[in-house]
Amino acid sequence: MNSQYLTNHFINLSTKNNYIINAIVYSLNDLNEIENKIINNVLKIQTYLNDITNNSYNLEYISKAIIFLYNSYRIITNLPHMLDKIKDKKKPCVHIIYGEMVTQLSSVTLFSEAINILNNLDYTIDKNRNQIICDNFKTISDKSLDINPELINNKKMFKILLEDDYRKKIKILNEKIIDLSINIYKKDINIKNLKNKLIQIIQ
């Protein structure tokens, strides 16, 4: 998997020049360390679970969905009223090039498409459990930071809190990679203690 694979997903959704699609493609055009780690973690889990279950499942769509979710949060967090970043991935942030409104709409589109991917899995799995996982993503996204209103005026402290929340969300996304993967192989394997094993594999 590479950036072209991810950008083509959105390019193929629209035949017209679209600012939102252009902004998303710009965001996904270069993969950073976190995105590459997501891809590698999914590949490690896929290799391990295919080996012990004698299957040949391809879990690329999990990488794709998780990266879309990550970018949805990343481009919003970079906005002026948040971390107020000018550059990200060694280039100007999405809102610098496309504006704040397009950035916010792009974030929603990335999130919606990620959930759409997870809701339309190719394999015969536990759909109810998968819906719980997808709903959990929505809860994570919707949950607001519990911040004392007085701290909002303290830009330094506010950024520290946002950065901490950012790290927590990335950790949660990595945990959900494991949940989604286990859900696919659930009927082929005894899942007891499997989560701990997969945590060790991706560390």
State the CATH number of the domain containing residue 11. 1.10.600.10
- Per-residue pLDDT tens for 72-130? 989 998 999 888 899 998 899 999 999 999 999 999 999 999 888 887 765 545 555 55
| Predicted pLDDT of residue 4 | 83
- Per-residue pLDDT tens for 145-160? 444 555 556 667 767 7
Burial class (CB in 10 A: 0-12, 13-18, 19+), 136: middle
- Residue pair 120/130 in contact (Cβ under 8 Å)? The answer is no
With H, G, I as helix, E, B as strand and everything else as coil, classify residue 74: helix
With H, G, I as helix, E, B as strand and everything else as coil, classify residue 25: helix
pTM over 0.75: yes
Distance of CA 131 to the CA centre of its chain: 17
Q: Could you give the number of structural domains in the chain? A: 1
Domain hosting 134: range is: 3-202
- Side-chain-side CA neighbours of residue 39 (13 Å): 13
- The amino acid at 149: P
| Predicted pLDDT of residue 22 | 92
Burial 4-40 (b: 16+ CB within 10 A, else e): eebbebbeeeeeeebebbbbbbbbbeebeeebeebbe
| Predicted pLDDT of residue 147 | 47
- The amino acid at 50: N
**Lowest mean pLDDT segment, chosen from 16-30, 57-71, 175-189:** 175-189
